[in-house]
Chain A
């Protein structure tokens, strides 16, 4: 699928790169013991180190290092056994130290890749340039007082991974697929909760345009986008803005831009000439970060199966459609639920039940899979009842509704309500006889050639049996009766 964009003067190629800031899942901050949990009241999760009191020193949190390595492994990236923390110096009110501890020349993770799948089924690889660990800054609140700004340092010092992609995306759709896939991998790994609304995953998007085959154009960087929609809007807006600018004889300026969520437009924040000189240098309070192969291997051993591997198995071993496999692997919890529910059963039927009935009910109730009143084994038991002929598919739906409402087991509901399927020939014959006797006129019409009435009889019999008659047998036995 071509991603070229037509302008007034010809075709343009869009080039997109992304820097994703992912908050590391960990109990405490990158260099201090205070809690990294979101949502505490302002300045409640602040240690002496986070507030940059005189004489305070950072100490690396090993958990955060493990999470970064795990992320690197999940992105098939090179893990650097030697990395260095640098100070990035700038003044801001919510940056207590006057510098951010980050990694500049020697990041903890090197080159890797993310495989994305597009709506037309094509796949595409997006290269990862590097991942480095860094501290988050605090938060400035400008709307609390008419004259003053307030500072909340809860976030100050929380560990972030900056995941830098190569400029290898060429459309808003690709960028969206990339961020979604990245988010999914991070969530599988448990290294970032991926919550974009709360800001634990946010992206800086670099966009430029060029004539196909030409050198890279000048890029703009739009900062701090915290939804897939905003990322796509930013790219679309920037592509159009830049093409129009160039086609009207202008030039794209290298600058940092801000996205306005209400207008869907970006605007210039600061130009290249105003760019900070961050005066990076290795942080003398910290030794270089080093670990051995055993450290990496242990993390590799504990790695969960990732969505691509699970999807491959679902399509090739379970025979699921690529679409179903995508739906079931988007979230780690969904895949795990499915594996449990479908284990030892018909994989396809289970997939259908999950994507239609269970997801439908969850959506309607507005709850997440984790809160599902029906457990994987309960769903599995229900499917067993269908497979062994105890209940029909139709009854099963009724049973499922009840399960979802009450949390009861399928078997219990079937027993309590007497919903077990009737497969006894003489009982079904008796029902047929009753229905035919009550509709003799229609029997004659049927025998006179009005075949369509067959469905009517089936419906009446099922109704008489309260849906419990085995539909296959009803069909077969009714045919025998009518076709005498």
Chain B
């Protein structure tokens, strides 16, 4: 059936339940698409055999009436999630060949719900990057790249996760978001990307970048699919002390709840210099769409927004510098033998970590050093509290906040890689939600004049992902974003 790639997860699930299609059939279509889109460099470790077995198990579950919410749905996984007996590298040379003996909580929940694992997806090394160019495997390519033009960035860090879903090489995928690593690539690739509330999904078994900011989330083609897979991913995990012991509501209901009477805030501080005109226009459109759907628009202020990016670029590297200390050549991963222990550390880490990772380790080490701690790390934590208070105040008045996801559409690979500051600016609208621990979602809402996808971001208060789904769904309906990228798998066209 050539329509298989075109189905949303929800549609595919309905047909699987009716036994009009089989999981194996669906998987075959995706594995063909994976082959076809190999040039996008999304899969760093495809898991064909594992997938086959899981799809057959899913078909058995459907025939026995024991299918779960994700049974038979093909899902790709960012290579930051540890997957049992399947190479997990965080796209870094230092972890090349690492085979975890354990499965991350989030992925094991997804497999328990019947998901079929397509393989491990490309990302920036240790999730540090905004273009997927720091990956040891080379960058993931955005399927919106013209067939004869420059290769465009899928965004990052979860570039492979966004690109594969956009290209029809995964029905859904898992990513992580520390400063925008789900929402920015989702916007660049024209898919839905959700960063849940900090504490909603367990971090256990996910290679840590910045522990107080990292959060797992899904990439999907629709908001409804996002709610479907998110419901399977979320939930308290006693193995993660920062995971929230809250019940997970039925998010699928929220998708269709409507937004009549909801109050949506538009923050003045998100109008930044150098913002793309297309983005500004889209933002205006989004505002109008929500109004038409029955919401009230409120102008709000988040006065400390301008400090979010510098604050993030202290806290995230500081935590990373400590989190990455374990990659020392002693226990697992790469080791370069040397005469002394210190020399072994130096050679191993110099060789095993890429330039961007080394840059952030150095920044973070510096920020935590004696004499600098108060000026940098402590100050950044204080600013972080102010940013959080801005949002707390705003959410007393509004149910959700609407902003662009990124200040500009995607860019050609290689264009920004040499300039870290420009690269960091990609995260200017996404970082505040991580600092405040808030949930955010990026919905594809239109194309730029050059025909590149643009996303709108919605933010809600802690653990109110339901409001994100309701609002994002309203935008999705009115935006009618149904374009297929030029370099997607043929059957998606």
Contact = CB atoms under 8 A, between A and B. Distances in A.
Contacts of A97: 325-326
B95 interface: yes
Contact of A285 (B207, B211, B325, B331): B211
B279 to A, nearest CB: 33
The 10 residue pairs across chains A and B that have the minimum distance between CB atoms = A98-B325, A284-B211, A284-B212, A279-B368, A52-B326, A55-B205, A54-B207, A277-B370, A55-B82, A55-B206
Contacts of B283: none
Contacts of A52: 326, 331
A57 B238 CA distance: 10
Contacts of A277: 369-370
What is the size category of the interface that chain A forms with chain B? 20 to 34
28 contacts: A51-B331, A52-B326, A54-B326, A55-B82, A55-B100, A55-B104, A55-B204, A55-B205, A55-B207, A56-B205, A57-B241, A59-B238, A59-B239, A89-B322, A89-B325, A91-B328, A91-B342, A98-B324, A99-B325, A279-B321, A279-B368, A281-B318, A281-B322, A284-B210, A284-B212, A285-B208, A285-B241, A286-B242
Contact of B203 (A48, A57, A280, A286): A57
A54 B325 CA distance: 11
B365 interface: yes
A149 B344 CA distance: 13
Interface string B156-187: 00000000000000000000000000000000
Contacts of A56: 204-205
Contact of B326 (A98, A284, A287): A98
Contacts, number: 98
Interface string A88-125: 01011100111100000000000000000000000000
Candidate in A48, A54, A93 with the most chain B CB atoms within 10 angstroms: A54
A432 to B, nearest CB: 83
A310 interface: no
Contacts of B239: 57, 59
Interface of A: 48, 51-60, 87, 89, 91-93, 96-99, 149, 151, 277, 279-281, 284-287
Given A59-B238, A284-B211, A48 B101 contact: yes
Nearest to A51: B331
B326 A96 contact: yes
B240 interface: yes
Interface of A is mostly: loop
B369 A279 contact: yes
Nearest to A98: B325
Interface in B234-278: 238-242
Interface of B: 81-82, 88, 90, 95, 98, 100-102, 104, 203-208, 210-212, 238-242, 318-319, 321-322, 324-326, 328, 330-332, 341-342, 345, 365, 368-370, 373, 377
Contacts of A91: 325, 328, 342, 345
A99 B324 CA distance: 10
A284 B377 CA distance: 13
Contacts of A279: 321-322, 365, 368-370, 373
B211 A89 contact: no
A146 to B, nearest CB: 14
B330 A93 contact: yes
Nearest to B319: A284
Candidate in A48, A149, A279, A280 with the most chain B CB atoms within 10 angstroms: A279
Contacts of B377: 281
A259 to B, nearest CB: 24
A100 to B, nearest CB: 11
A160 to B, nearest CB: 20
A89 B90 CA distance: 22
Nearest to A49: B239
Given A93-B330, A96-B331, A58 B98 contact: no
Contacts of B328: 91, 98
Nearest to B95: A54
A448 B476 CA distance: 130
Contacts of A287: 241-242
Contact of B240 (A57, A96, A99, A151): A57
A59 B369 CA distance: 27
A53 B81 CA distance: 12
A98 B322 contact: yes
Contact of A58 (B205, B241, B325, B341): B241
A60 B211 CA distance: 16
A97 B238 CA distance: 21
A404 B370 CA distance: 63
Contacts of A98: 322, 324-326, 328
A54 B341 contact: no
Nearest to A85: B241
Given A51-B331, A58-B241, A284-B211, A89 B206 contact: no
A286 B318 contact: no
Contact of A55 (B203, B325, B330, B342): B203
A335 to B, nearest CB: 40
B241 to A, nearest CB: 5
Contacts of B369: 277, 279
A151 B239 CA distance: 26
A419 B185 CA distance: 96
A276 to B, nearest CB: 10
A97 to B, nearest CB: 5
B102 A53 contact: yes
Contacts of B95: 54
Nearest to A276: B370
B331 A57 contact: no
Contacts of B104: 55
Contacts of B368: 89, 279-281
